[in-house]
């Protein structure tokens, strides 16, 4: 796979996830259901340690991507 294709796939993956969240929020809003954010928020409150692990994983990945040179 060429690097341009790989970079395009990364872009589609990241923006596709964000687009999916927005579409789900639109559906929830139209149907009068709790939005995605509220559900995740409720889950995080009920599972503090799991959400802490998620956040630590995010920070670790961020550091992994940004604080290392391209080899």
Partner 1 sequence: MWSLYPIAVLILVFMAYLGNAANSGPSIACTDPAGALPDPWIFVAGIVAVVVGRLTAWPRYQDVPPDKLEDARLEQPMQSRILGALALAGFFVAAAAALFFEAVAVENVGGVAPITHYIRCAIVYDKTGSTHGLVTYAVVIVVCYLAGHWLWSMDRAQPSGPP
Asked if 13 touches partner 1 (CB under 8 A), the answer is yes
Of 44, 41, 37, 34, the closest CA to residue 21 belongs to: 37
Residues 51 and 17: their CA atoms lie apart, in Å, by 19
Min. distance of Cβ 5 from partner 1 in angstroms?
8
Asked if 60 touches partner 1 (CB under 8 A), the answer is no
Residues 47 and 38: their CA atoms lie apart, in Å, by 14
Asked if 49 touches partner 1 (CB under 8 A), the answer is no
Binding site for partner 1 (CB under 8 A): 1-29, 31, 33-34, 36-45, 51-52, 54-55, 58-59, 62-71
């Amino acid at each position: 796979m060429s690097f341009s294709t790989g970079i395009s796939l990364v872009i589609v993956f990241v923006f596709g996830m964000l687009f999916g969240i927005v579409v789900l929020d639109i559906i929830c809003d139209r149907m009068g259901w709790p939005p995605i954010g509220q559900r995740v928020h409720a889950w995080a409150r009920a599972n503090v340690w799991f959400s802490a692990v998620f956040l630590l994983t995010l920070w670790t990945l961020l550091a992994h991507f940004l604080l290392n040179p391209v080899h």
